[in-house]
Amino acid sequence: MYKLGLIGHPVQHSKSPEIHQYFLNVINANGKYELFDVMEEDLEYFLNELKHSDMNGVNVTIPYKEKVIPYLDEIDEHAQMLKAVNTIKRKGNKLIGYNTDGEGFIDSLRYTYPKFVKDIKDKTVLILGAGGAAKGIYFSLKKLNPKRIDIANRTKRKAENIVSENNHLVLALEEAEEKLYEYDLVIQTTNVGMEPDKDNQVIKLTHLNRGAIVSDIVYKPKMTKFLLNGKQQGARLLFGESMLWYQAAKSFKIWTDQSVEKHLKID
């Protein structure tokens, strides 16, 4: 019997219970995935209880990906570098932190556009946003060695803190909007466009190259205004929902040691 869950605030609209219940069915195991809406003042108490519980682990979402770190016993190298944890595994009375967001994004890109990933050394990438998810995606993408990864963010200082190569540029959102034709892949990682803000998009895609890939990691709604604009410009699309499935499969593997990646429901 696997006991899994999600901590965050708010959590009630999460798709994770549905995804992990499906994974449990795939491996033919009993278990449950519960939502824990935890207030910040209760976070330490919750994690201490988790340590001494019979739960296998939890996912961590906004606003606790960084705040859980002081209460963990170990953190894997990748999560340590990102200073953000989205998956906690209980091992005995120890809590171990991981982060599967960046690698989940790369897997979704590789699954949908394998040739793009194969040729990535000649490709330029723009990340819009410089929050936790952007940071994970930047470092996972960097390992693939694309020609350039630039970051544009409302608060430029946050993008400057992520970029770690001299030839990678930091841009204001307005500059990025004007220079979009320079990029083969544009990844939208801000909260803009996420329900209930679904009528907004962080920048317009007027100057995009036809055939570029436009990705939005926001998955509610599936077709964001940003993606719809990309489609109108002749772009190929990558949906946030597929990253959601891949990062979930990686968390599930950490807890159960079982691979479910061949069974993801991505259309």
Residue 70 preceded by cis peptide, ω within 30: no
Decide if residue 151 touches ligand NAP (CB under 6 A).
Answer: no
What contacts 200, CB < 8 A, 6 or more positions away?
192, 193, 225
Inter-CA distances, 185 with 12, 135, 141, 258, Å: 32, 16, 11, 32
Residue from the set 25, 53, 191, 259 that interacts with ligand NAP by CB under 6 A? 191
Decide if residue 266 touches ligand NAP (CB under 6 A).
Answer: no
Decide if residue 5 touches ligand NAP (CB under 6 A).
Answer: no
Query: Would you call 65 a catalytic residue per the annotation?
Result: yes
The 3-state DSSP class for residue 68 equals: coil
Residues 203-242 touching ligand NAP, rule: CB under 6 A, are: 217-219, 240
Residues 94-123 touching ligand NAP, rule: CB under 6 A, are: 101, 104
Q: Which stretch binds ligand NAP (CB under 6 A): 119-127, 186-194, 207-215, 258-266?
A: 186-194
**CB-based burial label for 79 (10 Å; 0-12, 13-18, 19+):** buried
Nearer to ligand NAP, 51 or 67 (CB): 67
Decide if residue 154 touches ligand NAP (CB under 6 A).
Answer: yes
Nearer to ligand NAP, 36 or 219 (CB): 219
Which residue's Cβ lies closest to ligand NAP?
131
DSSP code string of 115-126: HHHHTGGG-EEE
Minimum distance, C-beta of residue 42 to ligand NAP, in the bound complex (Å): 21
- CB burial of 185-222 (b: ≥16 within 10 Å; e: otherwise) equals bbbbbbebbbeeeeeebbbebeebeeebbbbbbbbbbe
Decide if residue 131 touches ligand NAP (CB under 6 A).
Answer: yes
Q: Residues in the site for ligand NAP, rule: CB under 6 A?
A: 62, 101, 104, 129-134, 153-155, 158, 189-192, 194, 202, 217-219, 240, 243-244, 247
